[in-house]
Amino acid sequence: MKKLILLLILIGSFQAKAQFGKDPIVNLENWDKQRVYWGYYLGMSYYDFKFEYEEPGKDILVDNGLGFNVGLIGNLRLTEYFDLRFEPGLTFNQRDLTFPGFADEADALREVKSTYLHFPLLLKFSALRTGNIRPFLIGGVSTALNLSSNVNNKQDNSNNVFRMAKWTNFYEVGIGIDLYLEYFKFTPSLRGVFSYNDELIRDNDPNSPWTGNVGTMQTRGVFLNFTFQ
């Protein structure tokens, strides 16, 4: 068994050297010359909230959890170095908010579960390909439909209902690296997403202890995606 494991490691190292070493075997040589191609991605997301307040005071605490992303990719080649990408996807996430000034934890704590339909339109700038590696920068804008939004609910935090806007707009910026394997292109990438509109639906009482002092509430997050094309 030990000899078999050692043999597999040696074979893997030889394969890696052949594909990503000094003089690699060039895979998918004409891949990037396609006018249009498709793919899909899987990944993880980490969402947070950025709060701005009307008056100085204690911060609302945000407990963030890891979420899950899945989606499709449509790529349009513009030039040798620029591509236009549309990446519709679905993201799942939960953030727990703890509001200051409450003795009862049930009043202070709000669980914010979000399921977003995410629609990014992005411009990708790729560096010169070296062997089977090609790093890139990517950025653009996106809009997202919050399927968990309860914007039309007449109840509010006084009834333990935390409300958010249905649509959110973002700008996005990220980096990644295309790895050209024998049969497909694999791409890990890291991206920041930043909302530029207020997502909070205020309580019916303008002096609400939950929302009365909040000037704006905006999502910000990080995506770690793994793309297969």
CB under 8 Å to 1, separation ≥6 — which residues? none
pLDDT tens string for the chain (229 positions)? 444 334 333 434 444 444 555 556 888 888 888 899 999 999 999 999 999 988 887 888 998 878 899 999 999 999 999 999 999 999 999 899 998 888 888 888 988 888 999 999 999 999 998 889 999 999 999 999 999 888 888 888 888 888 999 999 999 999 999 999 988 899 999 999 999 999 999 988 888 899 888 999 999 999 999 999 8
How far is residue 142's CA from residue 42's CA, in Å, rounded to a whole number? 18
Which is nearest to 42 in space by CA: 226, 228, 229? 226
How far is residue 71's CA from residue 87's CA, in Å, rounded to a whole number? 7
CB burial string 84-108: b at 16+ within 10 A, e below: ebbbebebbbbbebebeeeeeeeeb
> Residue 107 carries which DSSP code?
H
Q: Which amino acid, residue 115?
A: T
Per-residue model confidence (pLDDT) at position 22: 55
Q: Which two tokens stand for residue 164?
A: 């958010």
Per-residue model confidence (pLDDT) at position 24: 64
Which is nearest to 135 in space by CA: 101, 165, 178? 178
**Residue 19: Cβ within 10 Å count:** 18
Ramachandran category for residue 121: left, alpha or beta (phi over 0 → left; psi -120 to 50 → alpha): beta
Per-residue model confidence (pLDDT) at position 13: 41
Q: Evaluate if pTM is beyond 0.85.
A: no
